[in-house]
Structure 1
Amino acid sequence: MRILLLDTYYPAFLKATYAAQPGLAAASYDAQHQAMLGQLFGTSDFYSRHLQAMGHEAHDLIVNNLPAQTTWAKEHGTRINTLALRVPQRLRRLPVLRGMLEALPGLVDIAVEQIIDYRPDVLYCQDLWFMTPRAMARVRPYVGKIVGQIASPMPPDPLIHSYDLILTSFPHFVPRLRAMGVASEYFRIGFDTRVLEALGDVSRDIDVSFVGGISRHHGKALPMLTYLAQNTPIQFFGYGAASLERTSPIAARHRGEVWGLNMYRALARSRVTLNRHINVAENNANNMRLFEATGVGTLLITDRKDNLGELFEVGKEVVAYDSQEEAVELIRYYMDHPEEADAIARAGQARTLREHTYERRMHELVPILERYL
């Protein structure tokens, strides 16, 4: 099977990576692309490398990486429009601009050329917002099946209906998508052991952490995080601190953005880390932090969800809370009982390395794709 994996990375991460590596933007496309994958951001090459090990052809695209994508276009003689490239992706979603920008060659057009050049059996899109319906129509003659994966709010119907199949780690999304007439399957997120190889030995010098973003999708979590900052020694890592009031207790404990391997390092340094799902998860556990935190051997205290017990044994591999008050009590308890915390953390890591790795996920993914092909 020939699989092309399309993804987008957070602009702040892309900007920080290029700032940290002067001269990278002037390098070849391949050099820029490999440098970005080497940061272990998001799902990095966690899908492609295991698919390749299984005997499939798999390649990654980071389609919103402006320096690398424009370099690819120049190397392949693809016409680009610098005005269109300068328009942020979030503005491209506005109805008033969408039609105008679709007519201008930009990042979407470069991605279209890459897809046509690769001619995959499966175009696998991790970001359902990036490709427009018009772009999907352009690539469809050159693609076997167009597959999407989603664990965030759904895009508008025209985008949803551009896909032949949508995989999701939200159990509640599967029947909703099928009711819309779109094929859908439940597919869980995971952890990649390459992270442990890259981290090496890490000292656990942080008692308790929250590693994650603060955004509109996390609106219900902000009062809770404030309460935790007032009642525990929790430290915060991630994006969104600029949106906080200067007097916020969170701001006083915020240690800045961490991306890729540095994000994993912040988790690995933590004896205990707290997890909170975004609003759209409703009452289902699904997010990457479940597997990232347990994967690096940190005790995970997460919000209780209906299906959490299907992923981990609650109380023995992870710990769950129902309220902010209970979260504080659990944090304090496991800070005072480090041996118990370590035992649960070890059990959680063993479960993740046994059942929740991306190597295993790819062995689950391929049969799904083959059924629809």
Structure 2
Amino acid sequence: MRLFQNSGLYPSYLPRLNQLAANTRSFAERRDVFLHDRFGAAHFLKPVLDGSPEAFFTNGDDEVLQRRWAREQGMSGEPTLEAILLAQVEHHATEVFYNLDPVRYPSTFVAKLPACVKTTLCWRAAPSGNADFTAYGAVLGNFPSILDIWRGKGCRAELFFPAHDPAMDEYGHSERPIDVVFVGGYSRHHRARARTLEQVAQLAGSRNIVLCLDASRLTKLAESTLGRLLPLRSHRRPDAIAAIAKPPVFGRNLYELIGSSKIVLNGAIDMSGVDRGNMRCFEAMGCGALLVSDAGGYPDGMQEGSTIETYDTPEQAVEVISRSLQDWPRLAEIAALGRARVRDIYRKDAQWRQFGDLVGRI
């Protein structure tokens, strides 16, 4: 199978990538630096991470990366990023195109793919307004209720899961000096999460609490000197959160942070309904921390009281965290079992087999 996997970058991750790849000059060098940093690696298929000659990977929105490829291949002028991505697919003679960034490259892009492409799939685990993915052979995701939304829009939708990144096994085998860590976004889509963070942040007086927040542009504006003169109070972070908030972390720095933490606090975004099992669940358990997350429907291996702990309200989150830290030796055993379960159930080779089965059925 000649596989092409396209992904995308968070704007807040780009400065880290540019720093890591500062001494690279070629497309392959910058791409390899990115893949080694493991940002998003739970979604990357085994042939990509193994460096298989039949697999091609790129970040189609990384202008530095893509323009390097265009120059190396002798493309003239200043082609668009879409034109470069199409040229890469044709050059690779792709048979299966798997897109992790379908909002940027929706059905209109699929219609332009060369004839060598026989199967197209995309990953989308969130509602996306009026985005059209109907030209894809299937939309993949791990939230059943959101898959139903895509089916209602005329798409074929199939259940598919992130996988345990083997690089996680390198982390979390020594002391865990951080009591609780949260890493994630802070925006208008995170109201329930924000209430929980505010409650947990109040533990900072007696516990080592670390909040690494990727604040939205509106939140950053609201907290600026100018923004404090504007009617943006509702977008500012509560004082308890702002007092200890740190910048977001990504890639191997995230693995290292989780590996240094006893508990990873997680909270679903408001639009996810009752489905649970976002990326942070896989990362937290994969690096051996105890996942404390909001109650809901979790996938196999994530079982309350057995491999994870859950809460129903912000106040209960504080209670669960406090109880877990007081009884840490027992809860550390739950975390260790969770790590083993995720590593066993969501292996990369199993993810790749399931992907192959999906391709065969589409």
The TM-score bracket by the shorter chain reads 0.7 to 0.9
Whether the 8 Å CA contact 1:3–1:58 is kept in 2: the answer is: yes
Matched, 1:125 2:99: yes
Whether the 8 Å CA contact 1:128–1:149 is kept in 2: the answer is: yes
Normalized per residue, the structure richer in helix is 1
Q: Aligned-residue CA RMSD in angstroms?
A: 2.3
Matched, 1:63 2:60: yes
Matched, 1:216 2:206: no
Aligned pair count? 343
Moved more, 147-156 or 133-142: 133-142
SS in 1 for 2:111: helix
Q: 2:210 aligns with which of 211, 226, 235?
A: 235
Distance 2:43 2:103 in 1: 20
| Aligned 1:263-274 pairs, distance under 5 A | 263-274=254-265
Q: 1:362 aligns with which of 347, 352, 356?
A: 352
SS in 1 for 2:139: strand
Q: 1:52 to 1:40 in 2, by over 3 A?
A: closer
Matched, 1:254 2:245: yes
TM-score by length of 2: 0.87
Shift in Å at residue 108 of structure 1? 1.6
Whether the 8 Å CA contact 1:50–1:359 is kept in 2: the answer is: no
Letter in 1 for 2:83: D
Whether the 8 Å CA contact 1:50–1:358 is kept in 2: the answer is: no
Unaligned runs of 5+ in 1: 82-104
Unaligned runs of 5+ in 2: 224-235
Percent of pairs identical after alignment?
27
SS in 2 for 1:297: coil
Whether the 8 Å CA contact 1:237–1:266 is kept in 2: the answer is: no
Letter in 2 for 1:268: G
Moved more, 265-274 or 188-197: 188-197
Distance 2:47 2:187 in 1: 32
Q: 1:274 to 1:166 in 2, by over 3 A?
A: same
| Aligned 1:1-373 pairs, distance under 5 A | 1-24=1-24, 27-43=25-41, 46-49=44-47, 57-81=54-78, 105-157=79-131, 159-197=132-170, 199=171, 201-231=173-203, 233=207, 234-240=209-215, 243=220, 245=236, 248-305=239-296, 307-308=297-298, 310-372=300-362
Shift in Å at residue 128 of structure 1? 1.2
Whether the 8 Å CA contact 1:3–1:56 is kept in 2: the answer is: no
Moved more, 249-258 or 229-238: 229-238
Letter in 2 for 1:153: P
Deviation per residue, 1:226-277 (Å, 9 max, x gap): 1221245421124218635476211211232211000111111110111111
Whether the 8 Å CA contact 1:209–1:267 is kept in 2: the answer is: yes
TM-score by length of 1: 0.85
Shift in Å at residue 177 of structure 1? 2.3
